[in-house]
Amino acid sequence: MAQNSTNTIYGLSGFRDHLALWLGQAAYSTLDTSDKTFLNDAIEMGIDQIGAEADWAFTKNVTQGLTVLPTYTTGTVAVTNLSETVTGTGTGWDTAMDSSTLAALTDVFNVSGYASYARLATYASGTSITLESEFAGTTATGASYTVGRDRYLLNDGVWDVKQVEDTKNGAIIPVVPMAELEARATGGFQTGNPQYCALGHATPDTSSGTGTRQYLQFWPIPSATVSYRIRYTAVPTFPTNNFELAIHMMELLLHRVLVQWWAMKAEFERSQFHEARYQQLLPLFKKRDQQRARTKIRMRKQFGGPIEPQVWLNETITDA
């Protein structure tokens, strides 16, 4: 179920130059554009596989708080059949946008009396919004409506969501595949207490448009304010404060990328060599990571300080 957001690893430039040396190049910058693109994709897939197989202790049980918002129904709307434009009266959408109550791309729009709904593309003003798809209902004025937010952006570096817990009553919201969530939503617009959620991939960040973060999508669409505790596995990164661990991770990632590189070049003997080396190193690093984790917990219990894993600064992977 894990999905890869735009992956980030600390010290990526140095790693890519080191990788280029293994390919007989002086530096990453001297590679062809197509080779750069392939290697970046291979790095991302390699990070995902390491995250699934290496079982690094520091990637586990990272948490973030998330508060879902109530539906918005202020004012009335005028809608036109087969038009994407919605005109409001007394809607105050600009004020709601400023307070983050509303946000394009993460919100959905429904006119009372219709089962269908559409995602919002833009909030043009306090009385005008644009839908991503045409309104399929009958032309109307003075109609009641509902805007609800079903998508909520997660932290950078989320690899897989493990648990979504209501902080008030401890209820657990099951995390299901997106296809299952979308199948449950085929019955039409529905609001209430969320019963399910799914991890979505790379929705644009409404504040910067960078599209580097994943999101949680809820069903039914939340109708009231509820705070959740999100436990997730973080995308593996090269830690800035543990040189030994960083070197171990770079070595694993190096062999994982070279497996794909030489397979692409039809150099299968070389690819198999790096696959074998990766499999040899993996259990050793698992054992070392477990030993480090136990030592760190003992030290923190003895000398004080948080036991929660730390999340380090990252550098975004690009195809540049």
Assign 62 to helix, strand or coil.
Answer: strand
Does the pLDDT value for residue 205 go beyond 80?
A: no
Q: Average model confidence (pLDDT) for the chain?
A: 80
Residue pair 75/67 in contact (Cβ under 8 Å)? The answer is no
Query: What number of other Cβ atoms are within 10 A of residue 265's Cβ?
Result: 12
Query: Percent of the chain beyond pLDDT 90?
Result: 47
Least confident of 4-8, 14-18, 146-150, 161-165: 4-8
pLDDT in tens, 58-114: 566 688 999 999 999 999 999 999 999 999 999 999 888 766 777 777 899 999 999
Task: Detail the DSSP E strand segments found in 183-222.
Answer: 191-192, 196-203, 213-219, 221-222
pLDDT in tens, 277-315: 999 888 876 665 555 555 555 555 555 544 433 333 333
Higher-pLDDT residue of 238 and 277 is: 277
For 71, left (φ over 0), alpha (ψ -120 to 50), or beta? beta
314 contacts: CB under 8 Å, gap ≥ 6: 8, 9, 10, 156, 157, 237
pLDDT in tens, 44-55: 788 778 767 766
- CA nearest neighbour of 236 among 9, 2, 32, 42: 9
- CA atoms of 218 and 223, how far apart (whole Å): 11
Q: What is the dihedral of CA 253, 260, 155, 234, to 10 degrees?
A: -40
